[in-house]
Amino acid sequence: MKVAIYSAHKFEKIYLENIFKEAHEVKYIASPLTVETVSLAQGYEAISIFVNDDASAPVLQILSKAGVKFLALRSAGYNHVDIAEAKRLNIKVARVPEYSPYAVAEHTIALMLALNRKLIRAHNRVMEQNFSLDGLVGFDMHGKTVGIIGTGKIGSVVAKIMNGFGCNILAHDKFENTELKNKYDVLYTDCETLCRESDIITLHIPFTPETKYLIDKNSISKMKRGIMLINTSRGALVNTKEVIEALKTGQIGHLGMDVYEEEAALFFEDRSEEILQDDVIARLMTFNNVLITSHQAFLTDTALKNIAETTLRNIECFENGKTCENLLTI
């Protein structure tokens, strides 16, 4: 089968090449799928895309005319795909529902620790032979209350790690996980109580119309002063401009973000020679208590192997007319 793989970055291509080998006629396209690049899919029955590619209705309509019948997402999240339109056009969509919840959970903890113990500032100082400790005081994680919003695959790994740290754990989810309650002392509560009582809040729910701007000036005002907020889920769960206001007053004491609501125009590319046009992220970059990574929480060897393997399996299921367990059927 002819497969076009969009957003095939260097870090991932080697894994895809290893898995796909000569099994299919694969075209690797470094650019993301957009209205401008969609014509490159002409003549390909299957295409594969990543998290910041644009699979909105207009793009899907062009894909359909180009002969595309299968969309293999190399992500768990699918908020970038108009599923209803894909269904209408009879384009099947499959995702990689789980490739390593550990990768994302561990990056979440890395952000917490780096912010708490001010590792970036400390390292930069040492590199300048400044061995002073002033301004680097952190806090013991042990005994602090961590609020986990979303205890699915990733959130539950975060809960288990936090339990190991000796944290008190509050959780909010539509569904309670009995293993977390019984074995890891996780206490489920409503979002408001979680916001009020946590020292650290970490987000692990999907982005949907319902969860958009879950963190806004209203929810932030209910949090403890100096709260640490971590978002490795999706940018638009957070109203970034309102978060900036809270950082300016000290209401938010630390912010760790792996995702950003306008990331599609920035992340995954070297833009070091460009003039930064995004004033919101530019302001975020001025705070020394904000740590930003460019959507790399998933980026481990294990996760990349799993993504490549599941993507190939999804494509082959479609090719062979087999039932694909990862099809999105909404």
Catalytic site residues? 234, 263, 295
If one asks whether residue 206 binds ligand NAI (CB under 6 A), the answer comes out as yes
Contact string 215-254 vs ligand NAI (x = CB under 6 A): -----------------xxx--------------------
- Among residue numbers 55 through 114, which ones bind ligand NAI (CB under 6 A)? 76-77, 101, 104
Q: Supply the minimum distance, in Å, between the C-beta of residue 298 and ligand NAI.
A: 4
Cβ atoms 94, 318 nearer than 8 A: yes
- Among residue numbers 269 through 328, which ones bind ligand NAI (CB under 6 A)? 295, 297-298
If one asks whether residue 171 binds ligand NAI (CB under 6 A), the answer comes out as no
Tokens 């269904």 correspond to 87
DSSP 293-315: --S-TT-SHHHHHHHHHHHHHHH
Q: Closer CB to ligand NAI, residue 209 or residue 321?
A: 209
- Rounded Cα distance between 233 and 298, Å, is 11
CA distances from 259 to 30, 238, 256, 304 (A): 21, 10, 9, 18
Q: Which stretch binds ligand NAI (CB under 6 A): 66-74, 145-153, 222-230, 304-312?
A: 145-153
- Rounded Cα distance between 243 and 22, Å, is 48
* Strands 46-49 and 92-94, sheet pairing: unpaired
- Among residue numbers 6 through 65, which ones bind ligand NAI (CB under 6 A)? none
Helix (H) or strand (E) holding 183: helix 178-183
Q: Which stretch binds ligand NAI (CB under 6 A): 110-118, 120-128, 205-213, 315-323?
A: 205-213
Name the residue among 221, 222, 239 with its Cα closest to residue 231.
Answer: 239
Q: Which stretch binds ligand NAI (CB under 6 A): 55-63, 110-118, 122-130, 147-155?
A: 147-155
Length of the chain: 330
Site for ligand NAI, rule CB under 6 A: 76-77, 101, 104, 150-155, 172-175, 204-207, 210-211, 232-234, 258-259, 295, 297-298
